[in-house]
Amino acid sequence: MRTLAHISDLHFGRIDPAVVEGLLADLIVNRPDLVVISGDLVQRAKVRHFKEARAFLERLPFPYLVVPGNHDIPVYNVFHRFIDPLRNYKRFISRDLSPFHVDAEIAVLGLNTARSVILDFSHGRINKAQISRVCEVFKELPEHVFKVLFTHHPFLPPPGAPETRLVDRHRLALPALEDAGVDLLLAGHLHKAYSGDLATFHTEVARSILVAQASTATSTRTRDEANAYNLIAIDAPRVTLEVRAWGGGGFVHAAASTYARSGHRWVLQERDSGIHPEMMTPSP
């Protein structure tokens, strides 16, 4: 079995220090095999914000993979936004924009969907070279290896909000993800925690793919949802997606969904909500 901690949208520069300390403490208790960070490490792509994010990463006692988000691109420095949009990200966080981990049980690949050249660069995009990389990395792996792809921008909208904009060119990517045998997609951006099967929305997909979206882990920009992260237990063919949310004095179990693969489909086995709504109050 492998355990992943999926955290997203840290937004250093606009964080709650108590939540940051609580997150680190909860990770230490749960001891994930790998931490996956799906973008927006900072609020604005300023040096001091990236230094704070770097200090946080250095305190993680576990291996981690990370990709940038749209907030990691400068807003006001137009020159750097177009000439070298991830200059500070690469300086302080990582020069690898497509990190990869593989072992005997899991393979995890990250893709950078942040773009500075599109009109509204809060939105993301996947390109043909990245789609090819997914195929190259995953298709040669044994079938029993659980394959995880993570991006900042989502492939699946929240429940009840089908109009939510998804990562651009997702329809071009979906057949490749299916063919490459991707089992799980992780993303952030929306500051909402939810999970589901990609095939329930993208009905053209024949091989279902699980999706776990993460809320903001430490930012005060909670959008009426508590700070939270995902703790994912992978014991193929079963996967449990747990949401751990800030309850005021620490992170606690908020909800969990367990899925089992049956042929080419993921079947929901169990779903629970572990705490009362009042314990999910966002940080002030």
The answer to whether the Cα torsion of 44, 169, 213, 39 is positive or negative is negative
- The more confident residue out of 72 and 83 is 72
pLDDT higher than 50, residue 81: yes
Q: Identify the band that residue 80 occupies on the pLDDT scale cut at 50, 70 and 90.
A: low
Domains and their CATH numbers in the chain: 2-280 (3.60.21.10)
Is residue 283 very low, low, confident or very high in pLDDT (cuts 50, 70, 90)? very low
Predicted confidence (pLDDT) per residue in 38-57, tens digit: 999 999 999 999 999 999 99
Q: Which residues contact 284 (CB under 8 A, 6 or more apart)?
A: 220
pLDDT digits (tens, 9 = 90+) for 236-267: 999 999 999 999 999 999 999 999 999 889 99
Residue 221 confidence (pLDDT): 84
Mean pLDDT of 200-228: 93
- Report the SS3 class of residue 252: strand
Q: Is the pLDDT of residue 277 over 50?
A: no
Q: How sure is the predictor about 63, in pLDDT bands with cuts at 50, 70 and 90?
A: very high
Among candidates 1, 11, 4, 65, which has minimal Cα distance to 30? 4
Rounded-to-integer distance, Cα 227 and Cα 9, Å: 10
Residue 215 pLDDT exceeds 80: yes
Give the Cα separation of 122 and 134 in Å (integer).
23
What value does the mean pLDDT of the chain take?
92
Given pLDDT bands bounded at 50, 70 and 90, which one contains residue 275?
A: low
Is residue 77 pLDDT above 90, yes or no? Answer: no
Output the pLDDT for position 223: 80
Q: What residues contact residue 242 under an 8 Å CB cut-off, 6+ apart?
A: 230, 231, 232, 233, 253, 254, 255, 256
Cis amide leading into 162 (omega within 30):
no
**Which pLDDT does position 273 carry in this prediction?**
73
Predicted confidence (pLDDT) at residue 119 exceeds the cutoff of 60: no
Q: What is the pLDDT of residue 122?
A: 85
